[in-house]
Amino acid sequence: MAPQDPPPEPSEGAPSATAEGNARRRSDRHPVNWLLVVPVVVPLLTMLFNHDGPRIAGFPAFYWMQFAFIPLGVLCTAIVYQATKRGKGGDR
Amino acid sequence: MKDHMTEFVVFAALFVLVSGMGFVAARWRRPQTMDSLDEWGLGGRSFGSWITWFLIGGDLYTAYTFVAVPALVFGAGAAGFYAVPYTIVVYPLVFLVLIRLWSVSHRHGFVTPADFVRARFGSPSLAAVIAITGIVATMPYIALQLVGIESVLKAMGINGHWPILIAFAILAAYTYQSGLRAPALIAFVKDALIYIVIIVAVLYIPSKVGGWGHIFDSAQAKFAKTPAPSDGVLLDGTNQLNYAMLALGSALALFLYPHSVTGVLASKNRNVIKRNMSALPAYSFVLGLIALLGYMAIAAGVKPLSTGGKPDTNTVVPVLFDKMFPDWFAGVAYAAIGIGALVPAAIMSIAAANLFTRNIYKEFWRKDATDKEEAVVSKLVSLIVKVGAVVCILALDPEFSIDLQLIGGVIILQTLPAVGLGLVTNWFHRGGLIAGWVAGMASGLWMLSQIPNPAKHKAHFGGSAYKLSDLGLDTKMTVYVGILALAVNLAVAVAASLVLKAAGAKDGADVTTPEDYTADEGDPKVHELELTSST
Lowest mean pLDDT segment, chosen from A37-41, B3-7, B53-57 = B3-7
Cα–Cα distance for residue pair B112/B352, rounded to 1 Å: 9
Residue B224: per-residue pLDDT: 87
Judge whether B436 lies within some domain. no
Chain A CA closest to residue B291: A63
A74 near B CB under 8 A: yes
Lowest mean pLDDT segment, chosen from A10-24, B112-126, B170-184, B478-492 = A10-24
B234 near A CB under 8 A: yes
Partner residue facing A36 (CB), from B92, B233, B522:
B92
A-chain CB neighbours of B243 within 8 Å are 46
Judge whether B457 lies within some domain. no
Q: Tell me the pLDDT tens digit for each residue of B329-345.
A: 999 999 998 888 888 99
Closest CA to B138 of B354, B320, B439, B375: B354
Q: Tell me the pLDDT tens digit for each residue of A40-55.
A: 999 999 888 998 879 8
Judge whether B445 lies within some domain. no
Cα–Cα distance for residue pair B503/B251, rounded to 1 Å: 36
| Residue span of the structural domain in which B251 resides | 2-22+37-414
Judge whether B193 lies within some domain. yes
> In total, how many domains does chain B have?
1
Which amino acid makes up residue B401?
S
Does the beta-carbon distance from A1 to B292 stay under 8 Å?
no
- Find residues 396-435 of chain B whose CB sits inside 8 Å of chain A: 416, 420-421, 423-427
Judge whether B66 lies within some domain. yes
Residue A37: per-residue pLDDT: 93
pLDDT average, residue stretch B70-87: 90
3-state class (DSSP) for residue B465:
strand
For residue B66, pLDDT over 70 is answered with yes
- Find residues 256-315 of chain B whose CB sits inside 8 Å of chain A: 270-271, 274-275, 277-279, 281, 284-285, 288, 292
Print the SS3 string covering B70-83.
HHHHHHHEHHHHHH
B477 near A CB under 8 A: no
**Radius of gyration of chain B, Cα coordinates, nearest whole angstrom:** 23
Q: What is the reported pTM? A: 0.87
Residue B91: per-residue pLDDT: 94
> How many C-beta atoms lie closer than 10 Å to residue A77's C-beta?
24
One DSSP character per residue, B105-117 reads HHHHT--SHHHHH
Quote the minimal CA–CA distance from A69 to chain B in Å.
7
**Pair type for strands B310-311 and B465-467:** unpaired
Residue B424: per-residue pLDDT: 92
Closest CA to B346 of B193, B173, B171: B171
For residue B398, pLDDT over 80 is answered with no
Residue A80: per-residue pLDDT: 92
Residue A87: per-residue pLDDT: 65
A5 near B CB under 8 A: yes
Judge whether B32 lies within some domain. no
Does the beta-carbon distance from A77 to B95 stay under 8 Å?
yes
One DSSP character per residue, A57-78 reads TTB-HHHHHHHHHHHHHHHHHH
For residue B309, pLDDT over 80 is answered with no
Quote the minimal CA–CA distance from B213 to chain A in Å.
4
Q: How confident is the model at residue B531 (pLDDT cuts 50, 70, 90)?
A: low
Chain A CA closest to residue B120: A13
Residue B262: per-residue pLDDT: 92
Cα–Cα distance for residue pair B388/B408, rounded to 1 Å: 16
B-chain CB neighbours of A44 within 8 Å are 85, 89, 244, 247-248
Partner residue facing A70 (CB), from B234, B248, B281:
B281
For residue B260, pLDDT over 90 is answered with yes
Between A11 and B371, the more confident residue is: B371
Judge whether B520 lies within some domain. no
Are the C-beta atoms of B461 and B407 separated by less than 8 Å? yes
Judge whether B293 lies within some domain. yes
B200: CATH: 1.20.1730.10
B-chain CB neighbours of A13 within 8 Å are 426, 510, 512-514
Residue A89: per-residue pLDDT: 42
Q: How confident is the model at residue B507 (pLDDT cuts 50, 70, 90)?
A: confident
For residue B535, pLDDT over 60 is answered with no
For residue A11, pLDDT over 80 is answered with no
Quote the minimal CA–CA distance from B23 to chain A in Å.
34
For residue A79, pLDDT over 90 is answered with yes
Class of residue B32 by CB neighbours under 10 A (exposed 0-12, middle 13-18, buried 19+): exposed
For residue A14, pLDDT over 50 is answered with no
Q: Tell me the pLDDT tens digit for each residue of B210-225.
A: 889 899 999 988 888 8
Between B395 and B520, the more confident residue is: B520
pLDDT average, residue stretch A72-77: 93
Quote the minimal CA–CA distance from A31 to chain B in Å.
13
Residue A90: per-residue pLDDT: 38
According to DSSP, the residues that pair with B480 across neighbouring strands are B465
pLDDT average, residue stretch B181-208: 89
Does the beta-carbon distance from A62 to B270 stay under 8 Å?
no
- As for the ipTM of the complex, it is 0.86
